[in-house]
Chain A
Amino acid sequence: MKIKPSIAISDNGFLFDPGSGESYTTNAVAKEIIFMMKQNLSVEEIKKTLVEKYDVDEVTLEKNLIDFFAMLRHYNLCEACNP
């Protein structure tokens, strides 16, 4: 799962897709995940970072990540969209 290289995200979580002209706001965790994706971290590495940082069990995290990645796919923000 990779975020499109053209996607721009600012430090306050404002995301802009120059291909479609659409913009999105992200919350703090979503922003963190997208930043990690832009650094080409794998899904496993992202999971590990989040489990260590936040009080969350792996099952809940997995479920939320699946939802989040589905949302990225839905908005056409990723390439190689399958994790």
Chain B
Amino acid sequence: MSRQNIHIAVTGLNNTDNPGPGVPLIRGIRESADLNVRIIGLAYENLEPGIYMPEITDKSYLIPYPSSGTKVFLNRIMEIHEQERIDLIIPNFDAELYTFIKSEKLLAQQGVRTFLPTLEQLEERSKALLPAFGKKYGFKVPDSREIVNKQDIANLEDDFDYPVLVKGKFYDAYFAYNEEQVTSHFNKIASKWGLPVIVQEYIKGTEVNVVALGDGTGRTVGAVSMRKQYITDKGKAWGGITIDDPRMMEITRDLIGKTKWRGGMELEMIRTSSAEYYLIEINPRIPAWVYLAVGAGQNLPEAMVKLAMGLDVPSMEKYQTGKMFIRYSWDMLGDISQFEKITMNGEL
């Protein structure tokens, strides 16, 4: 295959202790033997580490948050497109997906491709609708309830045993052992992520995750499963290991087959001691630990770029088990002139 010269814009460059998937995704793309790429970093904050890291982005731009309005957001993307000729955008935050999916046609008219789930796919797997999703497609999911005001909290005891998990619609999850704790987490999450807040039944077991890529026809292009070995106080994996669990792969293929999922996804499951599997979350994008999949033999970011560009990608069935990742922190040195450029000019 001849090496393609593709300009790819990527978000999620916040490589902090709550990392976005941008940097590991770029590492995967850059390791492709088939793709010749220029990476354009799209950052929301001027201190996102990914824009300062060597050999990650070729050029970075500040963009406004989607909450500033679709028009403002898209105008900025088009401004960058005029300078960079973006071929493909890979958004990596749950919170920006809605805007990108709604703007898919508009972007395509300007020659900017995306490879995303449909709006229906995005919405039906949302945390608030997970019980209906489980019922529709035949997957075990924990019971959950949408909470929109404090009065709902008092009624929880009728249907749930404590502890329960209190989750934001996009991010954050906390254990609550009584009504007071639910109220406290509800206030915190609602002020950060808005409503509804979701209260989910706690399923005891081991958390296991899958990163997968669907091509939109029902085919699973690749999938790798992982168990977190070390979890931060924010609930993020700081270390993980690939595992060989045929049942998890079966569930993943079944889910992608039934939903005809298009794009990257992360399935979060609980495996109980009696080997039952509960889907606790379906994240509609590639997760931050995707580089583990690359290292284990499935370059899912590369495959996603190829699919978006209309190239054939054979299904990847195998990967190496026992492959580990361990995150670390590293003080990278920069110069005030870099900070000045991104702050004053909105680009670096």
Contact = CB atoms under 8 A, between A and B. Distances in A.
B73 to A, nearest CB: 40
8 contacts: A18-B244, A18-B322, A19-B244, A20-B206, A20-B245, A21-B226, A21-B229, A21-B241
A20 B227 contact: yes
Given A19-B245, A21-B226, 14 more contacts: A8-B322, A16-B322, A18-B243, A18-B244, A20-B206, A20-B227, A20-B243, A20-B245, A21-B208, A21-B229, A21-B241, A21-B242, A21-B243, A22-B227
Interface of A: 6, 8, 16, 18-22
Q: Chain B interface residue count: which class?
A: 10 to 19
B126 interface: no
Interface of B: 206, 208, 226-227, 229, 241-245, 321-322
A21 B210 CA distance: 13
Nearest to B324: A21
Q: Can you list the 6 inter-chain pairs with the closest CB atoms, starting with the nearest? A: A21-B227, A18-B321, A21-B243, A18-B244, A21-B241, A19-B245
Contacts of A6: 244
Contacts of B229: 21
A8 B227 CA distance: 17
Contacts, number: 22
A22 B322 CA distance: 9
Contacts of A8: 322
A8 B229 CA distance: 18
B335 to A, nearest CB: 42
Contacts of A19: 243-245
Contacts of A21: 208, 226-227, 229, 241-243
Contacts of B243: 18-21
A18 B229 CA distance: 13
A7 B245 CA distance: 13
Contacts of B226: 21
A36 B93 CA distance: 51
Contacts of B322: 8, 16, 18
A21 B243 CA distance: 5
Contacts of B242: 21
B275 to A, nearest CB: 9
Nearest to B243: A21
A8 to B, nearest CB: 8
A61 B242 CA distance: 37
Nearest to A17: B243
Contacts of B206: 20
Nearest to B246: A19
Contacts of B245: 19-20
A18 B322 CA distance: 6
A19 B229 CA distance: 14
Contacts of B208: 21
Contacts of A20: 206, 227, 243, 245
